[in-house]
Amino acid sequence: MPIKLPKRRPAFAPLNRLRSGSFAGGKKGLMLSLNLTAMVDMFTVIVIFLLQQFASSGELLFLQKNLKLPDAHEAEELTDRGPVVTLFENKVLWEGKAVANLEELDEADPGIPPLIEKLEAVREREQKLYGKKENEPFKSHVVIQADKATDFQLVRKTIYSVNQAGWVHINFAVVGVGTGAEGEEGAAEGEEG
């Protein structure tokens, strides 16, 4: 009989066959497969959401082309968002569209009726959406951005209209002067109550 060298044998081959077989007792193998496509999609959505949230701080949505905001030495970053009312060239703009003109408004009327209607509609929609009651104070904010050359009578009528529509928090958009580097522009908030 010829003499042979022994070959290598796996030490636990029968155990591995028993674990992966039908009599394994419900134990799973050690290798797990991950669905990378779904995970990459989820992380992409999260990254896009975070970029949108951080990119919008301090910026106004509807800034007119030639609008020059007033300067303010004590300015803070605008954090509370809401509808943007723009006063430019003696016109009242709602989301970039003209709602009223100073020449067309009645001087005896302290408010701007089309603006009151728009703000009341937004307030009612938010109250229905978030389940707020009618007798609770409405805590949302309105942002007013007015050009330096805007007549103060129009600013006063706008503030009155915002209050008549049930909004009590008014933020004024301004350019911060002396709050950071020289010439740095930003939005500030001024609370009117």
pLDDT digits (tens, 9 = 90+) for 138-150: 778 888 888 888 8
- Please report the sign of the dihedral spanned by the C-alpha atoms of residue 151, residue 184, residue 168, residue 131: positive
Looking at residues 31-55, what average pLDDT do you find?
81
Characterize the bridge pairing of strands 84-88 and 141-146.
Answer: parallel
Q: Between residues 94 and 5, which one has the greater pLDDT?
A: 94
Q: Between residues 64 and 29, which one has the greater pLDDT?
A: 64
Question: Which residue is it, tokens 């950071």?
Answer: 180
Q: Between residues 149 and 183, which one has the greater pLDDT?
A: 149
Q: Between residues 16 and 149, which one has the greater pLDDT?
A: 149
What global pTM score does this model have? 0.59
pLDDT range class, residue 45, cuts 50, 70, 90: very high
Answer yes or no: is pLDDT of 15 > 70.
no
Provide the pLDDT for residue 126: 84
Provide the pLDDT for residue 24: 52
Strand partners, 146: 87
In whole angstroms, how far apart are CA 170 and each of 1, 74, 80, 89?
103, 17, 10, 21
pLDDT range class, residue 186, cuts 50, 70, 90: very low
* Mean pLDDT value across the chain: 76
Looking at residues 175-180, what average pLDDT do you find?
70
Looking at residues 120-128, what average pLDDT do you find?
86
Answer yes or no: is pLDDT of 171 > 50.
yes
